[in-house]
Amino acid sequence: MKRRVQLTAIAATLLVAPIVSTSTVTAQAASVKPSSSVLKKSNSYYRKHAKQLGKKYKLAYNAQTGLKKNGKAVVYVNTKDPNLKKSVKLAMDYWNHKLGKKTFTQGTKKSHTLTFSVSNAKPSKNDNSDAWWTPSTKQVQVRKYYYDAAKQDIGVAMTNGLNDSFYHQFAGTIEAQAKAELAAKGITSSDKNYSAQFNETAQKIEESLPEYATLKSRVAAVEKSVAAQGRMYEYAGTIAHEFGHVMGLNHSPNKSDLMYFESGTNKVNSYSQVTSSKGLKVYNPVTSTDKARAQLALKIYIAQHK
């Protein structure tokens, strides 16, 4: 009886691999969050204790090549993809909002401290990352192979979610009404063609529901624009993660942190989360631990460059 509204796609797995080496997950995960007192030390303290602080809070100073002496980053967005441009802007906004200042701003080809671009390199057994920060070339890149696949993946997940929600709500009603209509005509389950007649009747009942028209409309919207919007949010988080590396953050052992090595949110696969004014439009993946670690990394960097 269940006849799902389809959005055809070939699934592909999105992988996130570290550009800075991953640390072992430990029971003391919360200890990577600097306290307020640690964030109030003097520049001389930060210079003197940089090594110990870096080890305790998992900082990577050799990754901070994309910063000015004042700890600011100016990003040249080298892509023509309008949705990726939105992702980069949102990634900058995530950090700027949490840090309470414009740490990331957009630059130009002639004036910037790092570049965002798209890599055409295919994934391999040795490198299957979807995005990375390369300190030596001062480039944040996303892999086109996975970026292209993400729209289809999200579209399929959204469509499945919409179908599941519809049938969870109405399958019982459709089935009961179809059986009642067939019984009223004297057609029973022992009849030879009962299954075919049941499916035909159920389909007519299903398509007569106002909610079915809404389902079809939403599935069409997924294919037209909402899946791409979901991908925009997904890559905003992915790029924000790489911007964390730009500031000198190694991976966090906390699974809830943006800087966890496999960070991400399933909200990008939800039609309602992507389209609602209370969903991803107001979501920020930067946690209080991410924020405190970034503040410390920047304070140490600035202290070392005074």
Q: Is the pLDDT of residue 290 over 90?
A: yes
Q: Is the pLDDT of residue 183 over 80?
A: yes
pLDDT 10s digits, 242-271: 999 999 999 999 999 999 998 889 999 999
Q: What is the separation of C-alpha 41 from the centre of its chain, rounded to a whole number of angstroms?
A: 34
Give residue 287's pLDDT: 97
Share of the chain above pLDDT 90, in %: 85
* CB neighbour list of residue 108: distance below 8 Å, 6 or more residues apart: 76
Q: How much is the average pLDDT of 263-292?
A: 96
Give residue 263's pLDDT: 87
pLDDT 10s digits, 4-48: 444 433 222 222 333 343 333 334 444 899 999 999 999 999 999
Q: Is the pLDDT of residue 180 over 90?
A: yes
Q: How much is the average pLDDT of 189-200?
A: 91
Reading phi first (left if > 0) and then psi (alpha if -120 to 50, else beta), residue 161 is in alpha
Share of the chain above pLDDT 70, in %: 90
Q: What is d(CA 148, CA 206) in angstroms, rounded to the nearest whole number?
A: 34
Q: How much is the average pLDDT of 99-119?
A: 98
Report residue 204 as tokens: 């007519």
pLDDT band at 306 (very low <50, low <70, confident <90, very high): confident
Give residue 21's pLDDT: 35
Q: How much is the average pLDDT of 134-140?
A: 97
Give residue 205's pLDDT: 94
Dihedral sign (CA 296, 256, 263, 6): negative
Give residue 126's pLDDT: 87
Judge contact between 94 and 280, C-beta under 8 A. Answer: no
Q: What is d(CA 34, CA 296) in angstroms, rounded to the nearest whole number?
A: 7
Q: Is the pLDDT of residue 96 over 90?
A: yes
